[in-house]
Amino acid sequence: RPPRLLAFDAASSPFIAGLFRPVVYIPRSAADRDALLLVFRHELTHCRRGDLLYKLLMELVCALHFFNPLVWYMRREADRFCELSCDEQVADGMDAETRKRYSLMLLTQTQQQRLNLRGGAALFERRTNLKERIEIIMLQRRVKRFTMLISVLLTLSLGVSFFLFASLVNAQNSTTLTQFIYSGNLDYAAI
Amino acid (one-letter) located at 156:
L
Contact between 7 and 28 under an 8 Å Cβ cutoff? The reply is yes
Q: What is the pLDDT of residues 85-115, one digit of tens each?
A: 888 888 888 888 888 888 888 887 777 666 6
Query: Structure pTM?
Result: 0.61
**pLDDT given for residue 136 in this prediction:** 81
Distance (Å, rounded) from C-alpha 108 to C-alpha 98?
Answer: 15
Is the per-residue pLDDT at 1 higher than 90?
no
Higher pLDDT, 50 or 121: 50
Q: Sign of dihedral through CA atoms 4, 88, 105, 59?
A: positive
Q: What is the pLDDT of residues 110-155, one digit of tens each?
A: 776 666 655 444 444 566 778 888 888 887 666 567 777 888 888 8
**pLDDT given for residue 63 in this prediction:** 92
Cβ neighbors of 12 (< 8 A, separation 6 or more) are 27, 112, 113, 116, 118, 120, 121
Contact between 19 and 56 under an 8 Å Cβ cutoff? The reply is yes
The closest alpha carbon to 88, from 96, 76, 99, 100, belongs to 99
Distance (Å, rounded) from C-alpha 122 to C-alpha 79?
Answer: 8
Mean pLDDT over residues 165-171, rounded?
72
**pLDDT given for residue 87 in this prediction:** 87
The percent of residues in the chain predicted with pLDDT above 90, rounded, is: 3
